[in-house]
Amino acid sequence: MQATYPGKDVIESALMRLLDPSRTTGVCQTTMERLRASDTRVGTTTLAGAAREGMGRFAARVQLVEFLSSSTVSLSWSDPLVGHMAEQVWHSVTARRRSLCAVTGAPIRPGDRVYQPRVRGRNVPCNSDRMIQAVVIHALPCATSAGEKALLGAAG
């Protein structure tokens, strides 16, 4: 019979950390916890918090998939902080709070035209607090026809 020592079983200690993180001595904060703690100005996780943490390289990568209407687009969103969403529907709204553009990092003020992920009922995407300036969406290359891009440009 082999003697067992506390902390020697890697799998057991990993499971214990997952089940009860308070039992670990040197609990490291997740990236999201660090960003939330560092950015109290806007009240949500923004790229400003990431920049202060030296993490500006984590800007979202966005690809315009399709223009669905004059006020909605389909985007492929990839962000190391929140994951990847393929063909996510974003709609044009008026910003109600201060934030930063998720693509460029430029400031967004209340009243600016922005795009946000569509929220339907209980289906709240993990990037629902993100915004992209409308002018940035209009400048993204798209695989659809130029006529649809003109339609979106005329509405903005």
Mean pLDDT of 107-124: 91
For the chain, the first-to-last Cα distance in angstroms comes to: 74
Contact 131, 95 (CB under 8 A): yes
CA atoms within 13 A on the CB side of 13: 9
CA-to-CA distance for 152 and 109, rounded, in angstroms? 22
Question: What Rg, from alpha-carbon coordinates, does the chain have?
Answer: 20
Residue 97 pLDDT > 60: yes
Rounded-to-integer distance, Cα 85 and Cα 92, Å: 18
**What pLDDT is stored for residue 117 in this prediction?**
92
Query: Does position 55 have pLDDT exceeding 70, yes or no?
Result: no
Give residues with Cβ within 8 angstroms of 71, minimum separation 6. Answer: 91, 92, 155
pLDDT band of residue 83 (cuts 50, 70, 90) is: confident
Span 49-59, average pLDDT? 47
Domain positions in the chain: 10-56, 59-155
* HEC profile of 16-31: HHHHCHHHCCCCCCCH
pTM, rounded to two decimals = 0.56
